[in-house]
Structure 1
Amino acid sequence: MFGIYLKRELGRRKKAALVIALGLALGIALVITVNSVSAGMTQAQDKVLKSLYGLGTDMTVTKTRSAPTSGSSGRPNFQFDASSNGSDKTQSSDRVMTQGGQALASSVVTKVAQQKGVASAVGALTLNVTKVDGSFTQGKAQSSGGNSGNSGSGGQGGPGGSGSGGNSTAAPQVQGGGANFDVNSYSVAGVDVGDQTLGPLAGSKITTGRTFTAAQSNAKVAVVSKSYAKENSLKVGKTLTISGTKYTVIGIATPDSSESTTDVYLPLKQAQTLADAKNKVTTIYVKASDSKQIDAVKSAIQKNISGTTVTTSADLAETVSGSLSTASNLATSVGKWLSIAVLAAAFLVSALLTSSAVSRRVREFGTLKALGWPSRRVTRQVVGESVVNGLLGGALGIGLGLAAAYAVTAISPKLTAQLGNTGGGGGMGGGPGGGGPGGQASQNTMEIALSAPVSMTTIALAVGLAVAGGLIAGAMGGWRASRMRPADALRSVS
């Protein structure tokens, strides 16, 4: 009886039911869209952090770079041979400097790994290599009279002297000559080949060749990023020269999410040899045993290992700026309150429309009560109709929300993310792309394609909102219907 009457009444008031359902649908669709875009923002931010931190890394440990000592600027310097043999002098020099903070002893990696809550810890050495390559061209001295270098007979040959035959006594001038140099700077990361699940290479996959093996802890081999290999025409099997040492390229690495901030990867011992930093690291990558205890692990490391700076992914996320940060703030703040306002308005409108519809059914409900329907049965009938309207609105809202999320993913708008320096010369937690020599601030700009994934939790939320909207509207309408009396129906008869 309940189902038959429900179907008949909804069929009689199709327009009213559709208006109520559409109102709820718009509110639910907005909630789905905002939630899916917000989830896409979170995924985009995770991509930015993983490209810098490496897969599975929860935090990094660095040490703030100390101020340069007296008489030292901390900047790279180059010294060339000033020999004058020959007219052209070719010069080439590589300057290798540690990057991202003051170097830590390798023993600190073991201390960090022994802290409570730490699952694993891996050290890495980040270097900046500046290559200067070019040549000097020697100039030639010439006098205005064209007789430079000819002492002549009877002339004094010196400045101010008098010569015979009217020769010029002007001082000779150097003409021609100069220098032409090319400066190329790139980053190098020393990787612990014994554990490559953490560290700068963990955020990339080897698309050509292979990665390091445990036996290559001190081998002269290298893995280069895809962009650096393309720029310098490097392929697997070719050699790369750094500061006079030749390295064989064994693999090409492609970042999982964005452009890599590291150009060349070497075994850690080889990087330490290049930088004259034996048993030193600049960054310690840490994975916690429990992701919920990251703050506790951070506090333990800072307390037990003095002089270190611990940077978590949450700390690093605060330095992300650009359109990604702006859109994320918009989705989480403005979008959330807009969704709440629209939902509240949709619930209120549906409740008022239901109550208005009940007012127009005075004769119907009064007659049903005269036939013996108790008030709770009338209330149940109104609530049932409202819940069906709510579920219909929920289905329409889910459809509209999914369409909006699909449109965002199909368009894939590009967002920029700028990773600013976290201070202290460590830059980005000391990872690749951090502060350069001397600890200067730097920014690494990345471009991320936005997607809008819809999870089952969001769908469940939409269904819950649809049922809630129907119950709210039904409660108000049912309360009004339950207060009607059979006499009201008789008075409404013309």
Structure 2
Amino acid sequence: MFFTYLRRELRRRRKAALVVASGLALGIALVIVVNSVSSGMREAQDKVLESLYGLGTDMTVTKAAPPASEGGRAGPRFRFDAQDGDEEQSNDIVMPQGFETLASSTVGKVADQSGVATAVGGLSLSVVKVDGEFKPGEFKPRENGASGGGDGGGAGGGIGAPQGEVRGGGADFDVDSYTVYGTDTTRQDLGPLTSSKITDGRTFKATETDAKVAVADAAYAKEKKYKVGSEVTVKGTKFEIVGIATADSGDAAANLYIPLKRAQTLSDSKDKVTTVYVQADDSQQIGAVKSAIQKNVPGTTVTTSADLADTVSGSLSTASDLATNVGKWLSVAVLVAAFVVAGLLTVSAVSRRVQEFGTLKALGWKSGRVTRQVVGEAMVNGLVGGALGIAVGIAGAYALTAVSPSLTAQLGAAAGGPGGGGGGPAGGLVRAGGPGGQSADKAIEIALTAPVSAATIALAVGLAVTGGLIAGAFGGWRASRLRPADALRRVE
């Protein structure tokens, strides 16, 4: 009887039911779109951080480099031997980049801290290569009668003074700088290289701890026309490129990756690292792990993904703030309005059915049964609105993904990284601008997406049910107050 009467009444009042369902659908669709955009913002930011940190990294441990005036590393200095004739000269400077080096034993100390699942060390290097040649000048005797000529009688002339001048000569040098990252080949599941995928060749073997092999970043390999099997020379050592790695998002942490031990040898940094990458046992305890490391490993800087996220600015940050703040309150306002409108429409519909409900009560229906009937109708309206809202919301999210613009994530120089000179943790945040180690901000373009998750769908269903219950509560309250006499008064 309940469902028969419910079906008949909904068919008879299709327009009113559709209005209520449409209002709820609009609010639910907006919530889905806003939640999907917010989720896309979080995923975009995670991609930025992942491309800098490396997959699975919760925090990094570094040590800020002091300025050169206080005993820190000075800029590169080149020396060339004077040679007779045209001589080609080449010199490489390989030096740790961005941070003060830490003893390799620091990795073990960090790994021993409570809450740390694993820790891996890495060595970020900057290579500056100067290549060119000196051209000596040619001595040209002065012509007779030229100023200062004669038999030493002119100005500057004197016995033994050269009767000519040196012309031409000089130097022509090319300066090339790139970054090299020393990777622990026995633990490749953590660190900057994990933010790239091997798209050609292979990665390092665990046994290649001191091998003369390298993995090149895809963009750098394209620029230098490297491929698998090519050779690249770093400070007189030839490395075979065994793999090409493509960064998942943004720039790679380094142009070349080589085994950690070989990187330490090239830079005269035996048993040294610049960064320790840390993975925590529990992502909820990262703050406690950070405090433990700072306390038990003094003189270091511990930076978490939350710290790094604070340095992200640009259109990505603006869009994220907009989706989180404005979008959230807009969704709440629309939902409240939809629920109130649904409730008022339901009350209005009940008021127009005074004779009906009064007659039903006169026939023996109790107030509770009438109330359940009204709530049931409102629940169906809510579920229909939820289904429509989910369909519209998913369509809107996918449409937004299809036409979404690229957003820019600007990472401040304070963030630092294997490729940079700041105090932060992650790979490639700030690149060395040249031999002097000047740093600059880094901009990464990320395509905006609006993924619809199962949690968002569940939220939409919950809102639909809630909307139906609210509307049913309004209508049920009104219906429960009706008396059989009300119906008799309105009988003409």
Determine the C-alpha separation between the residues in 1 that align with 2:12 and 2:163: 113
Shift of 1:95: 1.9
Kindly indicate whether residue 111 of structure 2 is the aligned counterpart of residue 113 of structure 1: yes
Shift of 1:493: 2.5
Determine the C-alpha separation between the residues in 2 that align with 1:362 and 1:158: 128
Paired residues for 1:8-407 under 5 Å? 8-69=8-69, 74-83=74-83, 85-86=84-85, 88-140=86-138, 146=143, 155-156=151-152, 158-159=154-155, 175-407=167-399
Q: Which amino acid aligns with 2:19?
A: V
Shift of 1:139: 4.2
Contact 1:159 1:170 in 2 (8 A): no
Kindly indicate whether residue 424 of structure 2 is the aligned counterpart of residue 428 of structure 1: yes
The equivalent of 2:463 in structure 1 is 465
Determine the C-alpha separation between the residues in 1 that align with 2:263 and 2:4: 80
Structure 1's 306 and 71: CA in aligned 2 closer, same or farther, altered over 3 A? closer
Contact 1:204 1:255 in 2 (8 A): yes
1:205-238 alpha-carbon deviations (Å, 9 max, x no partner): 2222222223221111111111111110111111
1:335-390 alpha-carbon deviations (Å, 9 max, x no partner): 11110000000001111111111111111112112222111111111111111111
Larger displacement relative to structure 2 (465-474 or 422-431): 422-431
Larger displacement relative to structure 2 (422-431 or 30-39): 422-431
Output the TM-score relative to the length of structure 1: 0.91
Determine the C-alpha separation between the residues in 1 that align with 2:66 and 2:375: 71
The equivalent of 1:442 in structure 2 is 440
Match of residue 479, structure 1, among 453, 473, 477: 477
Q: Which amino acid aligns with 1:127?
A: L
Determine the C-alpha separation between the residues in 2 that align with 1:55 and 1:62: 18
Determine the C-alpha separation between the residues in 2 that align with 1:201 and 1:285: 12
Task: Describe the SS at the equivalent of 2:38.
Answer: helix
Q: Which amino acid aligns with 1:118?
A: V
Shift of 1:173: 6.5
Larger displacement relative to structure 2 (390-399 or 271-280): 271-280
Shift of 1:67: 2.2
The equivalent of 1:488 in structure 2 is 486
Task: Describe the SS at the equivalent of 2:249.
Answer: coil
Task: Describe the SS at the equivalent of 1:422.
Answer: helix
Structure 1's 60 and 43: CA in aligned 2 closer, same or farther, altered over 3 A? same
Structure 1's 95 and 371: CA in aligned 2 closer, same or farther, altered over 3 A? same
Q: Which amino acid aligns with 1:345?
A: A
Contact 2:192 2:253 in 1 (8 A): no
Task: Describe the SS at the equivalent of 2:210.
Answer: coil
Shift of 1:70: 6.1
The equivalent of 1:165 in structure 2 is none
Determine the C-alpha separation between the residues in 2 that align with 1:478 and 1:136: 96
Identity rate, percent: 65
Kindly indicate whether residue 6 of structure 2 is the aligned counterpart of residue 6 of structure 1: yes
Determine the C-alpha separation between the residues in 2 that align with 1:401 and 1:278: 58
Shift of 1:157: 6.1
Shift of 1:482: 1.3
Output the TM-score relative to the length of structure 2: 0.92
Shift of 1:16: 1.0
Q: Which amino acid aligns with 1:101?
A: F
Structure 1's 147 and 74: CA in aligned 2 closer, same or farther, altered over 3 A? farther
Determine the C-alpha separation between the residues in 2 that align with 1:444 and 1:244: 31
Q: Which amino acid aligns with 2:448?
A: L
Contact 1:420 1:441 in 2 (8 A): no
Q: Which amino acid aligns with 1:19?
A: V
Task: Describe the SS at the equivalent of 2:89.
Answer: strand
Contact 1:100 1:430 in 2 (8 A): no
Contact 1:219 1:270 in 2 (8 A): yes
Structure 1's 155 and 63: CA in aligned 2 closer, same or farther, altered over 3 A? same
1:244-299 alpha-carbon deviations (Å, 9 max, x no partner): 22111111112233331310001111111111111100000111122222111111
Shift of 1:52: 1.2
Shift of 1:445: 1.7
Structure 1's 370 and 148: CA in aligned 2 closer, same or farther, altered over 3 A? farther
Gaps of 5+ in 2: none
Determine the C-alpha separation between the residues in 2 that align with 1:335 and 1:430: 31
Determine the C-alpha separation between the residues in 1 that align with 2:397 and 2:156: 88
Determine the C-alpha separation between the residues in 1 that align with 2:379 and 2:426: 56
Task: Describe the SS at the equivalent of 1:222.
Answer: strand
Determine the C-alpha separation between the residues in 1 that align with 2:230 and 2:415: 38
Determine the C-alpha separation between the residues in 2 that align with 1:149 and 1:266: 62
Contact 1:101 1:439 in 2 (8 A): no
Structure 1's 118 and 275: CA in aligned 2 closer, same or farther, altered over 3 A? same
Shift of 1:178: 4.1
Contact 2:148 2:155 in 1 (8 A): no
Contact 1:426 1:439 in 2 (8 A): no
Determine the C-alpha separation between the residues in 2 that align with 1:20 and 1:157: 113
Task: Describe the SS at the equivalent of 2:60.
Answer: strand
**Residues paired across the two proteins, number:** 485
The equivalent of 1:166 in structure 2 is none
Contact 1:428 1:434 in 2 (8 A): no
